[in-house]
Amino acid sequence: MKKYKILVACGAGIATSTVVCNRVENLVKDNNINAEVIQCKIAEVASKQSEADIIVSTTILPTTYQIPAIIATAYITGIGMESLDKKILDHLQ
């Protein structure tokens, strides 16, 4: 079984990424997906993308990346969370 690596990023790597990190960890666990969720600053994503499968960010992406990147504001606002769950799962399955 493949082990996915998911980068969860926000501006400082502390506040909103913690909320999203918890949500994504529960999402992969509930769907029996073998994944490591790595919390980081958006500034660190470019250097970490080569070892990851997907980026889930709470902030505007400053550049384009070599792997899929998903904006996760729905997890902060509470609006459209199920749709965002599906989008992330689609990339991992």
Can you tell me the distance from the alpha carbon of 51 to that of 79, in angstroms, rounded to the nearest whole number? 30
Give the catalytic positions in this structure: 10
The pTM (predicted TM-score) of the whole model is 0.93
- Residues 50-82 pLDDT 10s: 999 999 999 988 889 999 999 999 999 999 999
What's the CATH code of the domain at 11?
A: 3.40.50.2300
Instruction: Look at the chain and report how many structural domains it folds into.
Output: 1
Q: Looking up tokens 């994503």, which residue turns up?
A: 45
43 pLDDT higher than 80:
yes
- Residue-range definition of the domain harbouring residue 30: 4-92
Nearest by Cα to 89 from 10, 9, 17, 32: 32
User: Are the C-beta atoms of residues 71 and 57 closer than 8 Å to each other?
Assistant: yes
Give all strands (DSSP E) within the chain, no chain letters. 4-10, 35-41, 54-57, 69-71
